Structure formats: C-alpha cells, structure tokens
C-alpha cells in the first residue's frame, strides 16, 4: 500500500530537524523560568516532555512532575488530579475514563479501562419504572445514574505498572491547587451557571460550587479544601481508601440517599451502589484497538468504549479515498458518510464485552470497511438511520438488520495528553459524564459523583434487535471516549490526541486525525478547524465556522442536511518531532482555549 502520510511526516520531520539546528540542546535549560499557569497557549514546542490539557494549572502540574524527573504516566496522573480541581464538572475521582499508554522501550501500546460499572444488583430495567423509561433529566441528577468510580483505580493501575513516583507525591500539586485555590474563568462560571438550578437541589453541591449562594465571579479565587483533604488522604492511604472504609461508606450513603434539599421538590432517586460494588471494582487491562491507516498504526480504546472500533472503522472506510487530494467538499462529504456508517455499526454491535459478544476484530477489518465504503456515493447522501452491516459476514455494499437511531450521550469530559523525555506517551480521557455529573457532591469530600450509567440505553434503541448497551450487573456502559495514539512504521509515536464531547468525541478525533494526517494541517490547526459531526442522524451538526461557510451550500447541493452546534469537543494532543522534541497542542478558542506546555520551550 502507498504510504503518503508516512512519507509526508518523514519530510516534516526532516524540516523540523533542520529548523531545530541552533536551538537549545535537550540537556540545556537549567536557567529557564519555572512554568506558570499564566502561560495559557494552545501550542508549545520544546524538549524534556510535553503536556496538553484544557487548563493551564493542570498542564503546569504535569510539567512540574516531568521537570522533577517523573515520566509521562506520572505527569498524566498529576494533570488528571489537577483537572479534578479546576474542571470538577468534567472530571474527578467520582468518575471514570480510559488511559492509553505508549511504552517507548518496548514500542508497544497498552490501555486501562477505568470505566464506571453498574451496581451488581442492576439489570436491564435499571432505568425502567412501570414499564416506562425514567425521564432522562430525572435519571441524570439522581443516585440511580451513579456508577462505581474508576478514576482512582485507573491512577493506581497506571502508576503500579508504568509510573515512577508515588501517588502521594503526584497528588501534591492538585492538593495545593484545591487548598490555595485557582482563578475562576468564564468557562467555569458558565458551566456553574448552566448547572445552577440542579446544584441548588443538593445543599452540599450548592455550598461548594455556589459560594455565598452565588455564581463564582470570574477572576475570583475558588478553593476546595474538602477535596484537598480527600487527595491528601488518598495520597497517604492509597486509592483503596476510596473503595473501602469511611470514604467508601460516604459514597454509598450519598448514592443510596442523595442529600437533597426537601424544599427543592426534586425527586432524587436513590441508587443501589453498595460497599460490595466499590470493593469489587477493578480496572481492566486489555489490548488496544489497532487500525492500519496509510502506513501508520492507529491505536485506540477497545470496548467498553466504542471509540477505537468506530474511529478505526471510519478510517478504514476513508482509506480508499486519497483525502490529501480531495477538495474540501469531497473530504467533508466522505468524512460525514464514513462517520454515519460506522455509527450504524457501533450502535448495533458495541457494548461491554464482558456481557456482549462484540465483534471488535471484525469491525476493524479492512474487508468489512470496504464492504461498507461501497455504500458511499460522490453525488448523493445516505439516508439515516443507516442499517448496520454484519462484520462477521461482510457483504459488498450490504446492510444487515434494521436501522436504529443513535442514542444521546453527554457532552462534557476532558482529555489530556502527556509525553516525556524518554519518549513515553499518554493519551487519557476522563469524565463524570454530563457537565456537572449527577450534580451530587459527596458531603465533606469535595467531589461530584458521576452520572455515567445514563450512557446505557434506558430501553432498547431498536426493539427489533438485541441492544448491546442495556444495563446489567457490574456492566460498563458503552462509551465514546477515544484516546488515540498513532505510531509510524518503526513503532515510534507520531501523534496522540483525544477529546471530550460524548458521542461527538468519535467524529472530533476522526476529523482531527484526518486533518492532521491527510490534509496536511499543523496539529494546532487540525484541532482548531471548524467541526462537523454525523452520528447516523438525519442531519449533521456543524460548528459556526462551517455553518457560515460556502461549503455548507455545496454540501447541501449533494443532499446533506445540517443543524448548528455552537461548539463541539475540546481536543488536546502531542506530536513527536525529531531529536527528543515535542509539540503540544490544544484548542485555540473552544472552552476558552486549552493549555499546551513543554518542559523546555524552544523559540
Ligand atoms: N459519557 C461519555 C462517554 O463515555 C462522555 C461524556 C462526554 O464526553 O461528555 O462517551
């Protein structure tokens, strides 16, 4: 197979090497000023390792760890813990996530599935009452939606396997941030505002996030001493303290009897999470998904996330078209149609593999993708919902079974990417599901519990066919999180990236990857490019940059229909440059812009 991407990246590598002549050698840099959180820039280039996240304090926490000799895994944990402070509505120890790790020594990719699990007492009627699905909003702000948190266990597993520092040390920057406070920005205030009504249902949440009964003021300092204490405790005792003992008891009590203000009138259903659920929780180590794409290997998260299989299938579908030569309209048309088709398959086939027979390998086969790609026409648009195919029995241009719409998923979460001077890389997406999770704070502990279980189908998406994403005892709800690492033909990293955004994560990662790998965009531009998201729905979502562009009318002329979405995703990534140099990249504008940092910047 031709290797245009690999070749182009090789050229890029050479020019970067030439450009770096005269720059500081990797060993220099003792005299630089310390990294401060004020340096919120969307792109940074330099040596010693890199971190990109949505938040400057969080990136700085990771950089601090790298500077002191920690590795990418250490930095990722420190950054994630700091995000639990500054992005408490998107991430934290009350949630879960997926950790993808590239080990430079062995040139191999590994993953940790730290997804939340349903209570052991759950069955497929978890969200059904009197034969009816519980209204979604009622399920969200309730104990019913809270899964056993996987984030602390993920940190523990990652450090145990690949880390070099103690958890207690790595939690220190976040603990400090929680105790001393961080500066409230417009995003934090607006996320609080959009949750204000339901936060007031839960007095502990209101007390923490609506200090003095009001929205936090932009520019003010926000402190969370309860969380500082919780981090200190986890650092001292290990994460087992969250899964057994007093803290576990506090979590269980909170879920079983959500501390709701009776005057609010909110009916906060209780959940059945128990001490047994917490003590039984285990992360899973499993093989990453692997997709060959234009001579590169794209590694992602296997089910229970649908990220790896869906991004992978779409890439395989797109592989038949030279996207580097396509016009903007052709590129977007192909991208939209590939997304549509792979979402049809995702809905039908992907669920927690501990409970479902998921054809992961077959979904990722080129043969299957080719059989699906042949549905795409240059001058027409597929009608959604497109029916799924049968990956175990690919039929040319065939669809098998009945179509089903894609169900709703939240739109918050956060992604971080870290690399170290040894060449190790972490791509880590973590979440508490909705922005603000369940809205329920564990009293006195400083963190919000997730509502991840609402990622399950409440009732079958398609009553005619088995839905692999119905709740079950200890089952993981299907995710869309797509932390990704791309390696070249020598097994060396090219780029690592990921995004929040519920099911739009998949299309954002796909669009950013193709923007970078095929369309020749620098990573920060591929991230900044206006996004489209098609998830096997009648219309495709467009950000304003595309909505207001002439491309929209040209795509409509082929038959595309659109609706507007003001903002999709918040990507971060790192790119390996030659000679130990890294480029970190984040959003330029979305969510107020992200924060890219390297240990020793070069001009
Ligand atoms: N809960 C979603 C998932 O696992 C992520 C939510 C989000 O990104 O907002 O796919």
pLDDT for 409: 58
Domain 5-286+408-601 is found in CATH 3.60.20.40: yes
**pLDDT beyond 90 at 13:** no
Is 383:341 a contact under the CB 8 Å cutoff? no
- Contacts by 368-372, CB closer than 8 A, 24 or more apart: 368/313, 368/316, 368/394, 369/313, 369/316, 369/317, 369/319, 370/316, 370/320, 370/394, 371/395, 371/396, 371/397, 371/398, 372/313, 372/317, 372/341, 372/342, 372/345
What the block records as the tokens of 426 is 């972490």
Segment holding 109, helix H or strand E: strand 108-114
pLDDT for 400: 64
The string of DSSP letters for 287-313 reads PPEEEEETTEEEEEPPTTBSHHHHHHH
Q: What phi-psi label fits residue 491: left (phi over 0), alpha (psi between -120 and 50 degrees) or beta?
A: left
Separation between Cα atoms, residue 389 and residue 341, nearest integer Å = 9
Q: pLDDT category, 396, cuts 50, 70, 90?
A: confident
Which of 113, 76, 79 lies closest to 96, judged by CA? 113
pLDDT for 106: 98
What the block records as the tokens of 490 is 């020598």
Q: Domain map of the chain by residue range?
A: 5-286+408-601
Per-residue model confidence as pLDDT tens digits over 238-275: 999 999 999 999 999 999 999 999 999 999 999 999 99
Is 155:240 a contact under the CB 8 Å cutoff? no
Identify the three-state secondary structure at position 112: strand
In the predicted model, what is the mean pLDDT of residues 504-529? Answer: 98
In sequence order, what are the residues at sequence separation of 6 or more whose Cβ sits closer than 8 angstroms to the Cβ of residue 295?
1, 2, 3, 4, 5, 6, 7, 488, 489
Q: What percent of the chain has pLDDT over 70?
A: 91
Question: Which atom of ligand 1 is nearest to 500's Cα?
Answer: 8
Q: pLDDT category, 407, cuts 50, 70, 90?
A: low
Segment holding 315, helix H or strand E: helix 307-318
What count of other Cβ atoms lies within 10 Å of the Cβ of residue 599?
26
- Contacts by 4-10, CB closer than 8 A, 24 or more apart: 4/294, 4/295, 4/322, 4/324, 5/293, 5/294, 5/295, 5/296, 5/324, 5/517, 5/518, 6/294, 6/295, 6/296, 6/488, 6/489, 7/295, 8/324, 8/520, 9/488, 9/494, 9/517
Q: What separation in Å is there between the alpha carbon of 505 and the centre of ligand 1?
A: 8
Identify the three-state secondary structure at position 212: helix
Q: Is 479 annotated as ligand-binding?
A: yes
Q: Label residue 550 exposed, middle or buried (CB < 10 Å: 0-12, 13-18, 19+).
A: exposed
Per-residue model confidence as pLDDT tens digits over 464-504: 889 999 999 999 999 999 999 999 999 999 999 999 999 99
Q: pLDDT category, 397, cuts 50, 70, 90?
A: confident
Per-residue model confidence as pLDDT tens digits over 339-349: 999 999 999 99
Residues in the chain: 603
Separation between Cα atoms, residue 329 and residue 480, nearest integer Å = 26
pLDDT for 444: 98
Instruction: Determine which of 66-80, 415-429, 463-477 has the lowest per-residue pLDDT on average.
Output: 463-477
Q: What separation in Å is there between the alpha carbon of 94 and the centre of ligand 1?
A: 14
pLDDT for 44: 98
Which of 348, 334, 544 lies closest to 457, judged by CA? 348
Separation between Cα atoms, residue 122 and residue 117, nearest integer Å = 10
* Active-site entry in 283, 413, 514, 540: 413
Q: pLDDT category, 26, cuts 50, 70, 90?
A: very low
Cis peptide before 385 (omega within 30 of 0): yes
CA atoms within 13 A on the CB side of 21: 4
Q: pLDDT category, 411, cuts 50, 70, 90?
A: low
Q: Is 499 annotated as ligand-binding?
A: no
pLDDT for 38: 54
In the predicted model, what is the mean pLDDT of residues 371-377? Answer: 96
Q: What separation in Å is there between the alpha carbon of 90 and the centre of ligand 1?
A: 9
The phi and psi torsions of 575 (rounded to 5 degrees) equal: -125, 135
pLDDT for 402: 74
Question: Which atom of ligand 1 is nearest to 307's Cα?
Answer: 10
Residue to probe by mutation, ligand 1, list 502, 503, 565, 571, most atoms within 8 Å of CB: 502
Separation between Cα atoms, residue 32 and residue 600, nearest integer Å = 7
Taking the model in full, what pTM does it have? 0.93
In the predicted model, what is the mean pLDDT of residues 278-307? Answer: 97
pLDDT for 399: 65
- 329 compared with 27, residue with greater pLDDT: 329
Is 416:423 a contact under the CB 8 Å cutoff? no
Q: Is 372 annotated as ligand-binding?
A: no
Is 413 a known active-site residue?
yes
Query: What's the mean per-residue pLDDT of the chain?
Result: 92
Residue to probe by mutation, ligand 1, list 410, 452, 477, 483, most atoms within 8 Å of CB: 410
pLDDT for 39: 65
Q: What phi-psi label fits residue 49: left (phi over 0), alpha (psi between -120 and 50 degrees) or beta?
A: left
Residue to probe by mutation, ligand 1, list 500, 568, 591, most atoms within 8 Å of CB: 500
Is 399:348 a contact under the CB 8 Å cutoff? no
Q: What separation in Å is there between the alpha carbon of 67 and the centre of ligand 1?
A: 31
pLDDT for 408: 58
Angle, in degrees to the nearest 10, between helices 72-86 and 56-67: 150
In the predicted model, what is the mean pLDDT of residues 84-95? Answer: 97
Residues with CB under 6 A from ligand 1: 409-413, 431, 433, 452, 455, 479-481, 500-502, 505
Identify the three-state secondary structure at position 469: coil
Which of 114, 43, 103 lies closest to 73, judged by CA? 103
Instruction: Determine which of 8-17, 109-118, 546-555 has the lowest per-residue pLDDT on average.
Output: 8-17
C-alpha dihedral (353, 498, 500, 313), degrees to nearest 10: -50
């Amino acid at each position: 197979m031709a290797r245009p991407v690999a070749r182009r990246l090789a050229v890029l590598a050479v020019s970067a090497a030439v450009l770096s002549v005269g720059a500081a050698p990797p060993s220099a840099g003792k005299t630089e000023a310390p990294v401060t959180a004020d340096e919120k820039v969307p792109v940074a280039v330099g040596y010693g390792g890199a971190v990109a996240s949505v938040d400057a304090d969080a990136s700085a926490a990771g950089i601090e760890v790298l500077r002191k000799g920690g590795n990418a895994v250490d930095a990722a944990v420190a950054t994630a813990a700091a995000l639990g402070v500054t992005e408490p509505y998107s991430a934290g120890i009350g949630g879960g996530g997926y950790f993808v790790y590239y080990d430079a020594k062995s040139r191999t990719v590994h993953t940790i599935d730290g997804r939340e699990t349903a209570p052991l007492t759950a069955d497929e009627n978890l969200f059904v009452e009197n034969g009816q699905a519980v209204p979604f909003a009622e399920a969200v702000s309730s104990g019913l939606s809270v899964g056993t948190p996987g984030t602390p266990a993920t940190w523990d597993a990652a450090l145990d396997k690949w880390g070099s520092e103690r958890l207690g040390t790595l939690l220190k920057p976040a603990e400090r941030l929680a105790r001393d406070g961080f500066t409230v920005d417009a995003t934090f205030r607006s996320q609080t505002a959009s949750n204000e009504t339901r936060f007031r249902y839960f007095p502990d949440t209101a007390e923490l996030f609506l200090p003095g009964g009001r929205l936090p003021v932009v520019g003010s300092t926000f402190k969370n001493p309860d969380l500082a204490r919780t981090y200190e405790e986890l650092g001292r005792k290990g994460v087992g303290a969250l899964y057994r003992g007093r803290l576990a008891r506090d979590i269980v009590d909170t879920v079983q009897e959500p501390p709701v203000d009776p005057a609010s009138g909110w009916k906060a259903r209780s959940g059945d999470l128990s001490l047994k659920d917490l003590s039984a929780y285990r992360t899973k180590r499993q093989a990453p998904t692997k997709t060959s794409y234009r001579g590169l290997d794209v590694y992602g998260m296997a089910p229970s996330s649908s990220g790896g299989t869906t991004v992978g299938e779409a890439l395989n579908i797109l592989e038949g078209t030279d996207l580097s030569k396509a016009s903007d309209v052709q590129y977007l048309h192909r991208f939209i149609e590939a997304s549509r088709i792979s979402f049809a398959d995702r809905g039908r086939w992907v669920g927690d593999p501990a409970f479902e027979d998921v054809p992961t390998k077959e979904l990722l086969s080129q043969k299957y993708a080719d059989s699906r790609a042949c549905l795409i026409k240059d001058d027409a648009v597929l009608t959604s919902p497109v029916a799924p195919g049968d990956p175990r029995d690919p039929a040319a241009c065939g669809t098998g079974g009945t179509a089903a719409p894609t169900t709703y998923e939240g739109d918050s979460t956060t992604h971080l990417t870290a690399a170290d001077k040894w060449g190790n890389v972490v791509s880590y997406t973590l979440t508490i599901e909705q922005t603000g999770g369940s809205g329920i704070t564990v009293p006195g502990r400083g963190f919000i519990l997730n509502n991840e279980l609402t990622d399950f189908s409440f009732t079958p998406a398609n009553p005619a066919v088995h839905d692999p994403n119905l709740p079950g005892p200890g089952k993981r709800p299907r995710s869309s999180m797509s932390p990704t690492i791309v390696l070249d033909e020598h097994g060396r990293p090219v780029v690592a990236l990921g995004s929040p955004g519920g099911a739009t994560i998949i299309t954002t990662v796909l669009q950013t990857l193709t923007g970078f790998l095929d369309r020749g965009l620098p990573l920060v531009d591929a991230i900044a490019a206006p996004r489209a998201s098609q998830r096997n729905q009648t219309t495709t979502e467009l950000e304003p940059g595309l909505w207001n562009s002439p491309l929209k009318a040209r795509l409509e002329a082929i038959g595309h229909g659109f609706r507007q979405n003001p903002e999709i995703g918040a990507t971060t990534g790192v790119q390996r440059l030659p000679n130990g140099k890294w480029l970190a990249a984040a959003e330029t504008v979305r969510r107020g812009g992200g924060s890219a940092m390297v240990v020793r910047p070069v001009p």
